[in-house]
Amino acid sequence: MIKEINPGDTALSANAYKDNSTSTYNFLKSLEIRENNSGVSTGLQWLKSKGETIASHSPVDGKLIAVVTSADRESYTTVINKAGEAFKLWKMWPSPKRGEVVRQVGDALRRYKQPLGKLVSYEMGKSLQEGYGEVQEMIDICDFAVGLSRQLHGFTMHSERPGHRMYEQWHPLGIVGIITAFNFPVAVWSWNTMLALVCGDVCVWKPSEKTPLCGIACQNIIAEVFQKNNVPEGVCSLVQGGRELGEWMANDTNIPLVSATGSTKMGKSVAAAVGARLGRSLLELGGNNAIIISKDADLDMSLIGCVFGAVGTAGQRCTSTRRLIIHESIYDIFKDKLVKAYHQLRIGDPLDENNHVGPLIDKEAVSMYLAAIERCKKEGGNFIVEPGVLKGKGFESGCYVRPCIAEVTKDMDIVQHETFAPVLYLIKYHDLEEAIAIQNGVPQGLSSAMMTLNLREAEQFLSSAGSDCGIANVNIGTSGAEIGGAFGGEKETGGGRESGSDAWRTYMRRQTNTINYSTNLPLAQGIKFDL
Ligand code: UN1
């Protein structure tokens, strides 16, 4: 499938770059291993670095697909300096003009949807449909950001003083540090970057060490557009690396906003470091998402949402469905439907569109899947769809696992934890208050859903006595949010909001302005101060 990629599709290549060794296109064309990919770019050039190398292995077939050099302190400093310089110029571009560049990025992504989607699927392991879907999210956020570039509105207020006008405006913030996870190796970067760009910020992106080629591909795509539009060097930079690089970014006072997606553990350390310097962080961390299945649910329709939510991206979305809270009166019927559906799932090469479920990201993820299953069994969980690691032809990478289902009780400890794998827990409930309490009774607060045709129940679930999550859906699963809404969650999910609605405000600084056009200088609060 890789060979089908049209050699004319050079946006994934380094053709816009001085150093052709970074060619993702060559990688895609021939699967040739390139040992000398630079992982550090300012948008116009790839920088030399003495940083450690990152090996990218595809979980699909276990092959080594590239070796990328991570940022060392020197190249990181160059990137940050260039970004600072670029900000001085970029913030002066009118926002609709910045939006025009983002519009062209959206067009480029439309052109490269197929190869980029395939690369996502091959490097990360999600199904091809989901790989394309991820690129579609990027296109959607570009469209959203283009409109936004003419709508960065502030309020005006009535002053208490005569002859005075008061209003607020939003200014660009500066360098936005973007730390993303392997599971959405391109979309989450674009949610942040496209908004930040129209807001007049410049971006420095650290993709996951597990998906470095996706980072290189995106950097190449935007570089082509940027060059055509004379966008200053440093407006979008790429720095690859691991934990240490993340720490440099979190501690860097040149970066007023750090947007980080990943585990709650990672988010806590980013928040502590950024908070200690009174910077701003936008966190999108773990979820432990549940769907409540009411006795009044359309069970056949609910099934699709539940199964896709649990096994989509092999259970590696932060929005993946981890728990089903099912009414006791329909518990057995729905359980049977689920078991039947799980037995129809085809697991295998995600680039083969006949398969529903691809591999986990790596063997470490497989170990975590196995550990959660062991713990679940020890605590008394009853597996009604058996787990397992697949072996034999087509599964040589060792990363393919069986999506499984366990019956558990609400007080089991394992149910409190997010395992980034397709393990689904079933819990029985008696009344809606109890179901909502179970749904809310975990440390995380990202996504939630209720399946019901009963208006009273639906509204109760959505009321302030209902779900405590950032996302609450009715008759839709927990995953697959559209970009137009603000995306993020409460509690250990970190409280940040990305992508749609007014999430853009996080990427700007607010300024309140009062202008006196009278002939006096009256003080507020009626204070008298005569000279
Ligand atoms: C994530 O898993 O970090 O709602 C993001 C969804 C996708 C995004 C998930 N639109 O499932």
- Tokens representing residue 365 in the block: 């993820």
Provide the CA 280 distance to its chain's centre, in angstroms: 18
Say if residues 500 and 484 touch (Cβ distance below 8 Å): yes
Structural domains of the chain, ranges and CATH numbers in brackets: 20-285+497-509 (3.40.605.10), 289-485 (3.40.309.10)
Q: Give the distance (Å) from ligand 1 centre to CA of residue 32.
A: 31
Residue 31: the pLDDT is 37
Q: Give the distance (Å) from ligand 1 centre to CA of residue 316.
A: 9
- The response to whether residue 133 sits with its C-beta less than 6 Å from ligand 1 reads no
DSSP 90-116: HTTS-HHHHHHHHHHHHHHHHHTHHHH
- The response to whether residue 480 sits with its C-beta less than 6 Å from ligand 1 reads yes
Residue 34: the pLDDT is 59
pLDDT over 90 at 25, yes or no: no
- The response to whether residue 317 sits with its C-beta less than 6 Å from ligand 1 reads yes
- The response to whether residue 184 sits with its C-beta less than 6 Å from ligand 1 reads yes
- The response to whether residue 183 sits with its C-beta less than 6 Å from ligand 1 reads yes
- The response to whether residue 473 sits with its C-beta less than 6 Å from ligand 1 reads no
Instruction: Report the C-alpha gap between 84 and 253 in whole angstroms.
Output: 12
- Tokens representing residue 402 in the block: 């069986």
Nearest to 28 by CA among 131, 133, 115: 115
DSSP symbol at 277: T
Q: What amino acid positions are annotated as catalytic residues?
A: 284, 318
**Average pLDDT of the residues in 204-219:** 95
End-to-end Cα, the chain, rounded Å = 82
Say if residues 274 and 250 touch (Cβ distance below 8 Å): yes
Q: Which residue has a Cα nearest atom 7 of ligand 1?
A: 480
Provide the CA 278 distance to its chain's centre, in angstroms: 24
Say if residues 414 and 254 touch (Cβ distance below 8 Å): no
Residue 7: the pLDDT is 30
Confidence of residue 65 (pLDDT cuts 50, 70, 90): confident
Say if residues 401 and 366 touch (Cβ distance below 8 Å): yes
Tokens 């392991």 sit at which residue?
125
Instruction: Report the C-alpha gap between 362 and 456 in whole angstroms.
Output: 44
Ligand 1 atom at shortest distance from the alpha carbon of 483: 10
pLDDT over 70 at 40, yes or no: yes
Instruction: Report the C-alpha gap between 142 and 484 in whole angstroms.
Output: 11
pLDDT over 60 at 29, yes or no: no
pLDDT more than 70, % of the chain: 93
- Give the distance between the most distant pair of CA atoms in the chain: 91
**Average pLDDT of the residues in 199-218:** 96
Q: Which residue has a Cα nearest atom 3 of ligand 1?
A: 318
- The response to whether residue 189 sits with its C-beta less than 6 Å from ligand 1 reads no
Least confident of 26-30, 353-357, 465-469: 26-30
Instruction: Report the C-alpha gap between 30 and 390 in whole angstroms.
Output: 28
Q: Give the distance (Å) from ligand 1 centre to CA of residue 234.
A: 28
Confidence of residue 19 (pLDDT cuts 50, 70, 90): very low
Nearest to 496 by CA among 260, 237, 197, 321: 260
Q: Residue 225 — φ and ψ, nearest 5°? A: -65, -40
Q: Give the distance (Å) from ligand 1 centre to CA of residue 451.
A: 20
Instruction: Report the C-alpha gap between 412 and 322 in whole angstroms.
Output: 14
What does DSSP say about strands 37-38 and 64-69: parallel, antiparallel, or unpaired? parallel
Q: What is the dihedral of CA 16, 18, 21, 26, to 10 degrees?
A: 20
Instruction: Report the C-alpha gap between 165 and 163 in whole angstroms.
Output: 7
- The response to whether residue 126 sits with its C-beta less than 6 Å from ligand 1 reads no
Long-range contacts at 378-383 (CB < 8 A, ≥ 24 apart): 379/408, 379/412, 379/413, 379/414, 380/408, 380/409, 380/412, 381/406, 381/407, 381/408, 381/412, 381/414, 381/425, 382/406, 382/407, 382/408
> To test ligand 1's pocket by mutation, which of 179, 191, 319, 483 has the most ligand atoms within 8 angstroms of CB?
319
Q: Give the distance (Å) from ligand 1 centre to CA of residue 79.
A: 29
Residue 44: the pLDDT is 86
Q: Give the distance (Å) from ligand 1 centre to CA of residue 353.
A: 21
Q: Give the distance (Å) from ligand 1 centre to CA of residue 524.
A: 47
Q: Give the distance (Å) from ligand 1 centre to CA of residue 462.
A: 21
Ligand 1 atom at shortest distance from the alpha carbon of 447: 4
> To test ligand 1's pocket by mutation, which of 136, 184, 266 has the most ligand atoms within 8 angstroms of CB?
184
pLDDT over 80 at 4, yes or no: no
Ligand 1 atom at shortest distance from the alpha carbon of 318: 2
pLDDT over 70 at 212, yes or no: yes
Instruction: Report the C-alpha gap between 295 and 297 in whole angstroms.
Output: 6
- The response to whether residue 261 sits with its C-beta less than 6 Å from ligand 1 reads yes
The β-bridge partners of 448 are 290, 472
DSSP 20-61: GGG-HHHHHHH----S-EE-EE-SS-BPP--PPEEEEE-TTT
Residue 531: the pLDDT is 87
- Tokens representing residue 481 in the block: 């949010």
Residue 6: the pLDDT is 33
Q: Give the distance (Å) from ligand 1 centre to CA of residue 54.
A: 25
Instruction: Report the C-alpha gap between 37 and 123 in whole angstroms.
Output: 15
Q: How many CB atoms lie within 10 A of CB 213?
A: 28
> To test ligand 1's pocket by mutation, which of 478, 487, 493 has the most ligand atoms within 8 angstroms of CB?
487
What is the chain's mean pLDDT, rounded?
Answer: 93
Provide the CA 26 distance to its chain's centre, in angstroms: 27
pLDDT over 60 at 369, yes or no: yes
Q: How many CB atoms lie within 10 A of CB 110?
A: 13
Instruction: Report the C-alpha gap between 13 and 22 in whole angstroms.
Output: 7
Provide the CA 430 distance to its chain's centre, in angstroms: 35
Say if residues 450 and 420 touch (Cβ distance below 8 Å): no
Reported pTM: 0.94
**Average pLDDT of the residues in 268-293:** 98
Ligand 1 atom at shortest distance from the alpha carbon of 482: 10
Instruction: Report the C-alpha gap between 180 and 31 in whole angstroms.
Output: 25
Strand, coil or helix: 485: coil
Residue 312: the pLDDT is 97
**Average pLDDT of the residues in 477-506:** 98
Ligand 1 atom at shortest distance from the alpha carbon of 137: 10
Instruction: Report the C-alpha gap between 146 and 360 in whole angstroms.
Output: 35
Q: How many CB atoms lie within 10 A of CB 91?
A: 17
Residue 35: the pLDDT is 62
Q: Which residue has a Cα nearest atom 6 of ligand 1?
A: 480
- Which residues have a Cβ under 8 Å from the Cβ of 366 and sit 6 or more positions away? 360, 389, 398, 399, 401, 421
Strand, coil or helix: 256: coil
Say if residues 129 and 353 touch (Cβ distance below 8 Å): yes
Ligand 1 atom at shortest distance from the alpha carbon of 487: 4
The H-or-E segment that residue 202 falls in is strand 202-206
Residue 457: the pLDDT is 98
pLDDT over 50 at 10, yes or no: no
**Average pLDDT of the residues in 41-46:** 92
Say if residues 282 and 274 touch (Cβ distance below 8 Å): no
> To test ligand 1's pocket by mutation, which of 318, 420, 493 has the most ligand atoms within 8 angstroms of CB?
318
- The response to whether residue 479 sits with its C-beta less than 6 Å from ligand 1 reads yes
